Structures are given as C-alpha cells and as structure tokens.
A and B are shown apart, each in its own frame.
Chain A
Amino acid sequence: MASFEPVLLRNRGVEGSTTLKVYESRGGYQAVRKALKQTPDEIVAEVKKANLRGRGGAGFPAGVKWGFLPKDRKKTLLCVNGDESEPPTFCNRVLMENDPHQLIEGTIIAAYAVQAQTVYIYLRGEFHEQFHILQKAVDQAYAAGYLGKKVFGSDFSIEMYLHRGAGAYVCGEETGLIESLEGKRGWPRIKPPFPAIEGAFRLPTVVNNVETLSCVPHIIERGADWFTGIGPAHSAGPKLFCVSGPVKNPGCYEGAMDFTVRDLIEREDLGGGMMDGKHIKAVFPGGCSMGVLSADELDMKLDFDDPRNFGLLGLGTAAAVVIPHDMDMRIVLRNMARFYGTESCGQCTQCREGTAWMHKIATRIAADAGRPEDLDILLETARNMGMMPGLSICGLPDGATFPIETIVKKFRSELDESILAQPRGRAEDLLKVLN
C-alpha cells in the first residue's frame, strides 16, 4: 500500500510550525485568499460537494449543517469545538499543537461561508499548552490583518475569541458547549430549536469540530474533486487516526478511510504492531463511546459506515485503544463505567441514574464480588437507558451504554468465568456489609 501523503499533518515536525511565518512559507493562507474572492454560497456548495463529514464523531456533513441556517438571519456565530474529551482521542490536540494556523485559516473560510463575524474557539479546560499556542497564533493572525476588521483587504470582518471550558465531557456535545460558552452549566439543551436556528446567545450558531475545519482550506485550495478522490465515496477525505495502548508506535496518524483496524495497529507506517509479548484481546476503535471489537473483528474498515456492521455506534473519533491479552476485561468494564458515571451531566433520569448504577455493578464485579445475574442487569440497564434511538436530551447515554453492552456481549464467557472463579461467598459477604 502506498504511503499516504499527509495533508492535515503536513506541518507536523517542521520547526516553528506554529508560527505564521513558517505556515505561510509552506503555502498557508492561500486558500482563504482564494475563498474570499468567491461568494459564500459557492464555498458552501464546494464543501457540500466534497461531502465533508464532521470529524467530531457523528459524521454529519458539514456543508449540510451550514445550509440549515435561516436565510434571513442578521448575525451568525461560529463555534469551534475543541473540547475533545473522548477518552483515547488526541487528534484535535495534535492539530492545535502543531498547526494552529491551519485551524485559523479553516475557521476564517467557514466563518465567511456562513457569514459569521464572531468565532468562538471552545477549548477543554485541560488544554493549557494548546491554549497558549493557539492564542499566540491568533495574536499573530490579528497582527497580520488576517483577523479583525476587513481581513485580507476584503469587506469581511471577523473577531475570534478563545474560550476555555472547565473540563467536562458533556461540553463536547454542541448544545452543552453552547451553554458552557454562555457561562452556564454545561447541560445539553432540548431540541428544537436547533443551534442553527437559535444557538449561543439566542443567535443562529454553527458548531464544527477542529479537524473538520482544518480540512476546509484544503478543499478550497485543491477542490472538492481532489477531496472526494481520497478514500471511499461515503467517507471521503483525509482523516486523523489515533492509536494507543501497548503498540510499538502509539500516536496520531493521517490517512484515507480505506484501511482496517488491523492495519492501524499492525502497519509499519501506523501502529507498528503490538509490543513484544503482547497480543490483541480487544480494541476500542473509535473512542470509548463507540464500543469494543474482539480480536477476531479487526477487519472492520475505519470509515463512517462499516462500524455499524460490527455492532458499534459509529466511527466516532477514530481513536483506537488496544487492550492487550493480559488485561482483565472486568477492569476495562469498570474503567468504562466509571468514566460515564462521573461524566453524565445529571440532567436526564436514565443517564444520571443508569451510568452510576452500571459503575457500581462494574466496580463490584472488578472487586471479585460479582453475581452471575449482574451481567444481565448491566445489559438490561444499558437497554433501559435508551440505546439508539435515545431516550435522553443528548447522545451521552448512547455513548455510555455501547462500550458496556459490547464488552458484556462480546466477552461474556470471560466475564462469566471470572465471576465463577471468585472466592466463594465473597459477593454475599460484600452485599451483607453494604446493606
């Protein structure tokens, strides 16, 4: 397989890649100059034609999202979702750390396309370093006249603000992000109204992921046909993949969406195979929320559609975490349950109580005090919490139940064995103490 010529990550590893000078010397800020000569509708049409699907997890086409804005709007906001809080995911972080100007350029083009004069880049609270890098880049862009009044000598003005959250998973959901941006509790909003009609500060708002917007300059520069030429038709364009766990080369890689999970782990130019003495037991291929694959399902294609065939929620963030053969699945189960138990915002009943309950059961199972029926209760709770189509305001319970359900279903025999191998009476003893 021919090695992929990186597009999004082309400036990674170049010295001074975060500076405006280096970025421009490598062809930066040409796309935006080209874009500003076109009409906004032409840009929207081009992005629609490129079928740029959102990289944040849901895979919703960005051009279509922009098309939802009401025609007679007076003011529009653009929010850049840099919350990136899906557990093993770090592609936005790599983009912001290595190539902040690419994001800024993409954002200016997107803002021009939707005629948004105000842009908020929402960053996760924990992104300290990334915030400073991005802020420096924004300051440079302002100084160069690329942001502010009448950018690049055109009539278009744009103000860009960085906003740091306080670190909550649910603020990555677009309406949760908007609430947090407004200074409120990051509770997802009830829809309708959708953000395109009434979003942040009651204005029409577009929320796009960092990686999605980073693709935009390249689409404008090289055309939609170039973009759709990469990868399969339904999942076009370059995509960042993260791989972590006991692989030889963990990290963030760029490629077309045309290879499998096995490739991501094994290929020399990607994960580079497992560390010595480790075998694959399971893989979470798209961030934890999408669910788990067992070792014999590694031929799943990493594109937007194939994961559904393997009982997963979707591609998600395409960040794979590999579970080695010597890891107890009960520990994995507990870890997953704990994350969603602490990250549920607490608004909807099913999610608030269900995630906490699953965490309690998983903790008990991991502490050698599981009961055989606990696994059924876990499955039933997951179902009761409303897996696709959801019962709650946002999609968090879907993400919370898929890993639990897939772990229990796909590793049922191992979990059952572990429970049977527990010291006798331990579950009963523990429950006596608890109640």
Chain B
Amino acid sequence: MAKIIIDNQEIECRDGVSALQAAVEAGWDVPHYCYHPGLSVVASCRLCLMEMKMPHPQTKEMGWAPKLMPSCQTPVREGMEIRFNTDKVKTNQENCMEFFLLNHPLDCPVCDQAGECHLQDYSYKFGKAESRMVDQKLKTPKKDIGPRTLLYSDRCVMCTRCVRFTDEISGSHELTLVNRGSRLEIDVFPGLPLDNPMQGNVVDICPVGCLLDKDFLFKRRVWELKRGESVCPGCARGCSISIDHVDEKVYRLKPRFNPEVNDWWMCDEGRFGYDYIHDKKRISSPLVRRGLEQTTPNWEDVPAVLRYRFEQFVSEQGGAKVVAVLSPFMANEEAWLLAKFIRDVAPEASLAMGPVPYEGEDQSFPAKASGDDVKFTILKEKAPNRKGIESLLESLGGSVLTYEQFIEKTGAGDITAAWVVGGYPKPWVEKDVAKIASKFELLVAQDIFENEFTAKADIVLPACAWAEREGSFTNADGLTQPFQWAIVPPDGARRDGQYLFEIAGETGLFSAARVREMMAKTVPNLSKVHESPARPVHAH
C-alpha cells in the first residue's frame, strides 16, 4: 500500500495503480472518458489532468509542475502529491466539456444513454451551462455497424475504448478510426461488420450514447430500470451480471465487475440469452394427473400431496426404487432441499444429475491467446451449476446414479418413482430418453417448458427462470456465487426455492442464506459463497 496525498489529504492506495485509479477508489470523482481499467491507457481525452509536485529539473526542489499531467497515465509513487481542486484543473475540465459538446447533437430526449450518460453527468458537474459556438455543428452519420449494434457517430467523444476493446480483449479488430481531426469517426471496415461473440461489451464501455444495443434500442428509459444482482446461467463460467428490469420484465443484462471471473465483460450469448424468460409457452401452474383427470392444486396443498404420494409409493414398493434427478440449472440450495425431501421419505433413494449440455468448444479471447493473456473465456458447458450439483451429490453420499444409469435402470424397471428436474432453456429430453417417460408409476416433473416428462408426469411443477430465483451457482472453477431474484415468476407459478422449502418440511419464507446455514453441517463446502467486491474499483 502506497501513501499518497490528494488535495492535501493523505490516502492509502494499491501499489502500481494510476493516480486516477487511486483517486477514484478513494472517493474522488475525477472525470475521465478514455481511461478504462481493463484497457490500455491512451491518455487522449485530457479530462483527468491533475497538478503534481515534481522535482525542478535544475534545482531538484519539489514544486508544483507548471504542466498539468494526465492522472490516468501517471503511476502512484510513495509520497506523491497531487491535486484536483485547483482552478487550473477545474478550468481544464470545464473547457474540455465545452469542447466535447461543440459538435454533439444534444439529442438526449431520444438517446438511449440519457440517464446513464457520462457526457450528461460531467456536463452537470464539471461543465458550463451554455456553449459559445454559434456555427453549424459537424454532422457525422449514424451507422449500422453490426447485427446487434448501432453507431451514432455524432454523439462520439473519441475515447476509442471500443476500438481498444476489439483490439485487446475480443482480439477481432473490427473497429477502427477513419478521417482526421474533428471529422474523426469510429467505423468498421467495408464488408466486415462488428460481429464477434463479445461485441456487446462495446456498448457497455461507451461512456456516451454513441454505441447502442439494437436489442434495447428505444425500449425503456434507463432511469425506470431496476437493477438486480445475479449470475449468468449461460455457461459454467458464471459471470457476474446485473439484470435490468422493470414491471416484471427483463430488458437487458449487463456485466458486473468481478475480478475472479469475468472482470468487466460478458459474452453476447449470455447477454442476449434471456428471451426464454418471457416465453408464453412456459408452464405457469402446478398440475396433478389422476388417470384422465387433471387438476390444478392450490400451492398450499402441493407439499402434502407430494409427501403423501411418495410415502405411499415407498411403503408399497420400497425406497430403493425412488430417484431424484437434479438439474445442473438448479441452485445449490434448491437441489439440497429436494435431496433432503427425497432422502426424508426414502433414505435409500438414489440421486442423479440430469444431462449437462455442451455446445462446440471453449472459446477464449483474444483469439490465439494463452495463459495470462487470455482475457475472457466462454465455456462449451452450457449449464451454470454442474460443479455444485456434483459436489452436493458427493457430500450427501448414499446411492448416486449417473444420468445414463438412471435411464438404464428405469428401462429395466428398477426405478419406478422419480422426481425429474429440468429448467433448461432449450429442449433437453432426447428421443431415446423420452421412451422411458411412460415407465414410471410415480413421476414428478419440474420444468420450465413442456416436454416428454411433463406430458407423462403425475405431478407437474413449474420451474422458474434464474432471474426469478435466488440461490447460488458453483462455477467451473469451483467458485460458489450467490444470485438474487430480479423479477417475480409468471402468474400462478412460485419460486422453486419457496415450494421446495415447504415440501422439505420447513415453514415460512425461503431465503437462500437461511438454507445455506442449514446446509452447513452436511455440505459445508457449498454453504460459503463468494461475494464479488461490493464497491466497483472503477468509476465507469
């Protein structure tokens, strides 16, 4: 920890960071556009300039340097003295803000970024109320630069973050600069659109409304959105994300800084993979079948019905014929509650894990990077919690089956009662597996969408999407991360955690933290979760 003095206040900061980073972490609001902690430093926006004490070139006496220094480019040194609260610094900030707005169209009322725009924020805080430019503004075009992204170059502040992102993180080099001086524009090369699996990040890191997400374009004003902290279920990587939602509808997903997993980034697959939450075909209420008769029970009756059915089955046929198939899309807490219930009614019952979907190969970025140069990875394992479920099965012990053994034993008639959990966003029951669905005497299917299991099930329970649940996922590296619910389940449905809690014999409201406390004895390694740093280590 280095000690430095900012505006006559001594602060402690991390070694090796820039003066800007140190100031921002210590609570100073230093305006900046081009600086992003995840990208290289170009020091071109000249907004973060500071005054610094330096030895005089001849006399070696310490004094304030006549020149303003870029704080983003200057690393902290023990005993360094800098200041931001002087007229010189403030005048520069004010002038810069005037320059930024010279050719800006000031179209905030129709701009998606308005409300989270750093041109707005900094203009209010550091800028002038009026522009002195009376001449015609330079008009640069709006461009469609890729299948998911638009570029309104007239709003650009030329921070070149997006260009550096495609050069340094995604390694795909699609974006470039054309022209010179104030006619400078960000552009793509002719015929080569911005189309890489991580391109959505350029919209996040754009400090103004220049890069826009077509998926979110004109849908909502950002100040109406509420933000829920969550973990991406797209692959086993488990990126920290936030869910921006309002009126129980998810509008967009944004990455949340987490140095252990995803830094500042997320992939497009995760970012745009939330559509299924609002699918009209989702199962939204429980269903009980008795022969040809179908009824929708009250949620209050569901725990009793399930317990009665399983207890009856066990007393008739024995607990060894019972299995619970846990899904890699379940949270650890939900899986533990279900396992607890099954082992409660039938201590000799088996546990299994459903199939883990794999797609393609692992992709790392920038392409061809290896070792420490890898900035981001998208895994081929497209489920968030395989590791957690496996760890749970191992800790709980007893009879554990693989998914294949479960199918085989069911086919052979050794298993006749099952609770099968799905929750996959895509169809997951393979054709040959579908045949066994009719072999059960008691089948409980818990899933988001209808499939062969839910069609034959005696009891169907609606599963919720991850945005509606809370719990924790254990990612491919074994990191257990908690996620919160952002929206409520569709009408008629209940959170999986809540009904599993009740089915497992508990009363009251389900809370993941409470369940983790209960798990501490049997599954200690899953009862501790990793919280990403509450305070972001960068301003924007």
List the interface of chain A (C-beta within 8 A of B). 168, 185, 190, 341-350, 352-357, 360-361, 364, 371, 377, 384, 386, 389-393, 431, 434-435
Instruction: State in angstroms the CA–CA spacing of A143 and B431 once bound together.
Output: 78
Instruction: State in angstroms the CA–CA spacing of A47 and B64 once bound together.
Output: 34
Quick check: is B1 within 8 A (CB to CB) of the other chain? no
Instruction: State in angstroms the CA–CA spacing of A46 and B158 once bound together.
Output: 46
Q: Is the CB of A360 within 8 A of B135?
A: yes
Question: Which of A168, A349, A356, A435 has a CB less than 8 Å from the CB of B100?
Answer: A349
Instruction: State in angstroms the CA–CA spacing of A377 and B45 once bound together.
Output: 22
Residues of A near B73 (CB, < 8 A) are 190
Instruction: State in angstroms the CA–CA spacing of A359 and B47 once bound together.
Output: 23
Known A349-B158, A434-B134; further 20 A-B contacts with Cβ < 8 A:
A190-B41, A345-B181, A346-B158, A346-B180, A346-B181, A346-B184, A349-B44, A349-B45, A350-B95, A350-B96, A353-B100, A355-B181, A355-B182, A356-B103, A357-B133, A357-B135, A360-B135, A384-B98, A389-B68, A435-B136
Q: Mark B78-101, 1 if CB is under 8 A from A, else 0.
A: 000000000000011001101110
Q: Is the CB of B181 within 8 A of A356?
A: yes
* Interface pairs A-B: 3 shortest CB-CB: A356-B182, A346-B184, A353-B99
Given contact pairs A344-B181, A350-B99, A355-B181, A389 touches B67 in the complex (Cβ within 8 A): yes
Instruction: State in angstroms the CA–CA spacing of A356 and B99 once bound together.
Output: 10
Q: From residue 430 to 485 of chain B, which have CB atoms closer than 8 A to chain A?
A: none
Q: Is the CB of B180 within 8 A of A344?
A: yes
Q: Is the CB of B46 within 8 A of A350?
A: yes
Most chain B beta-carbon contacts within 10 A, residue among A345, A356, A434: A356
Instruction: State in angstroms the CA–CA spacing of A386 and B89 once bound together.
Output: 12
Quick check: is B42 within 8 A (CB to CB) of the other chain? yes
Residues of A near B67 (CB, < 8 A) are 389-390
Q: Is the CB of A342 within 8 A of B181?
A: yes
Instruction: State in angstroms the CA–CA spacing of A356 and B43 once bound together.
Output: 21
Q: Is the CB of B99 within 8 A of A349?
A: yes
Quick check: is B70 within 8 A (CB to CB) of the other chain? yes
Most chain B beta-carbon contacts within 10 A, residue among A185, A346, A392: A346
Q: Is the CB of A353 within 8 A of B92?
A: no
Q: Interface size (B, Cβ < 8 Å)?
A: 37
Residues of B near A377 (CB, < 8 A) are 132
Q: Is the CB of B181 within 8 A of A343?
A: yes
Residues of B near A371 (CB, < 8 A) are 134
Quick check: is B191 within 8 A (CB to CB) of the other chain? no
Quick check: is B102 within 8 A (CB to CB) of the other chain? yes
Most chain A beta-carbon contacts within 10 A, residue among B66, B100, B136: B136
Q: Is the CB of B182 within 8 A of A341?
A: yes
Quick check: is B509 within 8 A (CB to CB) of the other chain? no
Residues of B near A431 (CB, < 8 A) are 134-135
B-side interface mostly = loop
Q: Mark B314-341, 1 if CB is under 8 A from A, else 0.
A: 0000000000000000000000000000
Question: Which of B92, B132, B179, B184 has a CB less than 8 Å from the CB of A391?
Answer: B92
Question: Which of A190, A345, A350, A356 has a CB less than 8 Å from the CB of B42?
Answer: A190
A-B CB contacts (within 8 Å), total count: 99
Instruction: State in angstroms the CA–CA spacing of A391 and B49 once bound together.
Output: 8
Chain A, Cβ-Cβ closest to B94:
A384
Residues of B near A389 (CB, < 8 A) are 66-68
User: 18 A-B pairs, CB-CB below 8 angstroms?
Assistant: A346-B179, A346-B180, A346-B181, A347-B42, A347-B158, A349-B99, A352-B158, A356-B138, A357-B102, A360-B135, A371-B134, A384-B98, A389-B66, A391-B46, A391-B68, A393-B44, A434-B135, A435-B136
Question: Which of B46, B98, B177, B179 has a CB less than 8 Å from the CB of A348?
Answer: B46
Q: Is the CB of B42 within 8 A of A352?
A: no
Q: Mark B46-80, 1 if CB is under 8 A from A, else 0.
A: 11010000000000000000111010010000000
Chain B, Cβ-Cβ closest to A364:
B135
**B408 to A: closest C-beta gap in Å:** 61
Chain A, Cβ-Cβ closest to B91:
A384
Given contact pairs A347-B44, A393-B43, A352 touches B135 in the complex (Cβ within 8 A): no
Instruction: State in angstroms the CA–CA spacing of A360 and B134 once bound together.
Output: 9
Chain A, Cβ-Cβ closest to B184:
A346
Instruction: State in angstroms the CA–CA spacing of A357 and B135 once bound together.
Output: 8
Q: From residue 97 to 152 of chain B, which have CB atoms closer than 8 A to chain A?
A: 98-100, 102-103, 132-136, 138
Given contact pairs A344-B180, A356-B138, A349 touches B43 in the complex (Cβ within 8 A): no
Q: Is the CB of A354 within 8 A of B92?
A: no
Instruction: State in angstroms the CA–CA spacing of A131 and B304 once bound together.
Output: 92
Most chain B beta-carbon contacts within 10 A, residue among A168, A348, A364, A390: A348
Given contact pairs A190-B42, A431-B134, A435-B136, A352 touches B181 in the complex (Cβ within 8 A): yes
Instruction: State in angstroms the CA–CA spacing of A347 and B58 once bound together.
Output: 32
Residues of A near B95 (CB, < 8 A) are 350, 384
Q: Is the CB of B135 within 8 A of A353?
A: no
**B270 to A: closest C-beta gap in Å:** 33
